[in-house]
Amino acid sequence: MSHDDIELLIPGPVPVSAEVLAAMAEPVRQHYGPDWLPFYGEFTARLRRVFATTASVYPIPASGSGGIEAVLGSLAGADGHVGVVVNGFFGHRLLDIARSYSRHVEALEVPWERPADPEETRRWLRARDLHLLAVVHSDTSTGVLNPVAELASAAREAGAATVVDAVSSLAGTPVETDAWGLAAVASASQKCLETPAGLAPVAVAQEGWDIIDRQTSPGCGWYLNLRRWRQYEREWPHHPYPVTIPSSIVVALDRALRRILDEGLTARFERHRRAAAALRDGLERLGFRVLADRRWASPTVTVAYPPAGVDATALIRTLRARHRIAISGGLMHLAGQVIRIGHLGSQAQLERMQRVVGALEACLREGVPTTR
């Protein structure tokens, strides 16, 4: 079996359109200077539209975790008092990143099956005098969507700013950086943005810069320090970033952004919602138990327990071998217990969801070998 006949329905990376791949295959362009900068200005304008912001945006060459480290590390500094919502694997990653910068980090532990409650979060923040709240919007380990707008409002009432991991939500469900009053947001190119991995776009609002500028003990680092990115943006107009950005991936992401905006964000969000609902309905019909309640289920990934007696790991292997569809398994304590199916970006199509449900049904009907 070759890799090119496997349909990727993992929670990213996602299949990339021929149009975006063709853009990436164009001759490599110089990443600075008069021929590049007009294009770069149009690219960042499109990126702002997807982030729903007038803030600073930077296409940091990194995975999504690199973008998260850039925003969280820069705003936390060496002595920031940070609270982290932990209700999934990637909430734990936020916690690890925050603790690698500051000694004053506390975790709000929430059961993985539900989102953080805004009122509970407000009380928790006030009791601890924390100044920054970090939260994953859509955690691909659980399929739970945290109510970021309400959490940011609660944090603001408690005197805290909000940093968001929107790696698997940006361009798949609303992320309103300005309207929700977010200090900074980080995402990744390989999920709902429908581009190969390699860029971690981030947005930094004025509140985020105010926090950074007030720090008495700035964060460490150079490459992922947003002060450095702002410095080059201001002082190096011909080269407004401190590193060599991968121009071919930027060109590909720009092509993807054009496609996203041509579709329209509202229509796109509805497409993701419908695909998620169709998948959930199909899984439940087959006897799967979806981890996230419908009230807070993510529109970009679904996590489910197989029917009784069916081994999750064996089911994933069987689906790939017999039907050439790749899905993912669980993380941390959910390892070997659940399956994870992505419906991000190009995956969020009704026919794709119908195909994976049909393939799962065939696997269950034909029998799934045990891994034990």
Q: Which of 19, 49, 29 is nearest to 261 (CA)?
A: 49
Alpha carbons 364 and 322: distance in angstroms, whole number: 12
- Count of CB atoms situated within 10 Å of the CB of 263: 12
Q: What angle do CA 235, 202, 121 make, to 5 degrees?
A: 130
Helices (H), 158-311: 206-214, 226-235, 247-263, 265-285
pLDDT of residue 220: 81
Q: Phi first, then psi: give them for residue 316, nearest 5 degrees.
A: -60, -45
Alpha carbons 192 and 207: distance in angstroms, whole number: 26
Residues 246-299: tens digit of each pLDDT: 999 999 999 999 999 999 999 999 999 999 999 999 999 999 999 999 999 999
pTM (two decimals): 0.96
Residues 187-236: tens digit of each pLDDT: 999 999 999 999 999 999 999 999 999 998 777 899 999 999 999 999 99
Does residue 83 contact residue 160 with C-beta atoms inside 8 Å? yes
Residues 32-90: tens digit of each pLDDT: 999 999 999 999 999 999 999 999 999 999 999 999 999 999 999 988 999 999 999 99
Evaluate if residue 2 carries a pLDDT over 60.
no
Alpha carbons 340 and 304: distance in angstroms, whole number: 7
Question: Any idea which residue has 């304590």 for tokens?
Answer: 333
Alpha carbons 363 and 369: distance in angstroms, whole number: 10
Buried b (16+ CB within 10 A) or exposed e, 162-176: bbbbbbbbbbbbbbe
Q: Which of 90, 64, 197 is nearest to 142 (CA)?
A: 90
Mean residue pLDDT across the chain:
96
pLDDT of residue 1: 38
Buried b (16+ CB within 10 A) or exposed e, 286-300: bebebbbeeebbbbb
Helix (H) or strand (E) holding 162: strand 161-165
- Count of CB atoms situated within 10 Å of the CB of 196: 19
Task: Determine how β-strand 339-342 pairs with β-strand 328-329.
Answer: antiparallel
Domains of the chain by start residue, with CATH: 3-13+264-366 (3.90.1150.10), 18-261 (3.40.640.10)
Evaluate if residue 309 carries a pLDDT over 60.
yes
pLDDT of residue 4: 63
Task: Determine how β-strand 325-326 pairs with β-strand 7-8.
Answer: parallel
Residues 106-140: tens digit of each pLDDT: 999 999 999 999 999 999 999 998 999 999 999 99
